[in-house]
Amino acid sequence: MSSTAPEMGGRRDASFEREPARRVFASELRECRYQFKDGEDEKSPTFVLLPTGERSNRIFISGTLTEKSRQGEQNVFYRGRVIDPTGTFFVMAGSYQPEAMQQLAKIETPAFVSVTGKPNLYQKPDGSYLVSVRVESITVVEKETRDLWVLDTAARTLDRLDALATGTSPDITKAKEQYPMLDPAVYRKNVFDALAQIKM
């Protein structure tokens, strides 16, 4: 794994340390139902709690950008769909992320892409939830890069499931409270189905 990969640790500078970007499949991210702030300060980071028991302020995903659309008149933003072997990520970039918005606007679909962004949880009027990823950066990649991401994400998901089975961290305890119906066998099947779709 390259030392420049987003999950290899936060980037520290004089004023803050960026949260590491977690690798997560679409099938798990779409099941998120719990979001929280870590601290009382206005600038305290916001996290979604993955069902497998790890907090995530930033994620690193890879897949096929199948569609994108420009929205808004005065406040222009772009929405897109990125498909991995387990489902769909909904991504967006607006005027607060001008560089990311320009990157997304220039990409011709379909294309393999890698995305770093912040997950946000929304509850719709009907009570259901939607997780959208606010893009920080999006880059066109080769299929081999997407396949390596599937391998890495499979390994990280299995590690989280193992930790969930035996761990006692506060995040794992909270995940068991928030996702009492989680069936590890379903997540393991998603992992193996994803691996079956790549050729290395």
DSSP 183-197: -HHHHHHHHHHHHHT
Six-digit token pair at 113? 């892409």
3-state secondary structure of 139: strand
Asked whether residue 73 carries a pLDDT value surpassing 80, the answer given is: yes
Q: Which pLDDT belongs to residue 74?
A: 86
The answer to whether 64 and 113 are in contact (CB under 8 A) is: yes
Q: Name the more confident of 152 and 19.
A: 152
Q: What percent of the chain has pLDDT over 70?
A: 92
The answer to whether residue 51 scores a pLDDT higher than 80 is: yes
The pLDDT, as a whole number, for residue 16 is 61
Tokens of 182: 């989680």
Write the DSSP assignment of 153-185 as a string of letters. Answer: HHHHHHHHHHHHHH---HHHHHHHHH-TT--HH
Is the pLDDT score of 168 beyond 70? yes
Provide the whole-model pTM: 0.88
Q: For residue 185, what pLDDT is reported?
A: 97
Cis omega before residue 110 (within 30°)?
yes
Span 115-150, pLDDT tens digits: 999 999 999 999 999 999 999 999 999 999 999 999
Give 91 or 17, the one with higher predicted confidence. 91
How confident is the model over 87-98, as a mean pLDDT?
A: 94
Question: In the prediction, which pLDDT does 12 show?
Answer: 45
> How many CB atoms sit inside 10 A of residue 31's CB?
17
Report domain extents, the chain: 22-197
Mean pLDDT (the chain) is: 91
Q: Is the pLDDT of residue 5 over 60?
A: no
Flag whether pLDDT at 109 surpasses 60: yes
pLDDT given for residue 41 in this prediction: 84
Per-residue pLDDT reduced to its tens digit, 172-182: 999 999 999 99
Where helices occur in the chain by DSSP H, the ranges are 26-29, 98-106, 143-166, 170-178, 184-196
Distances (CA, A) of 113 to 26, 58, 65, 134, 180: 14, 17, 6, 15, 34
CATH number of 22-197: 2.40.50.140
Backbone angles phi, psi at 64, to 5 degrees: -100, 120
pLDDT digits (tens, 9 = 90+) for 6-20: 444 444 444 567 788
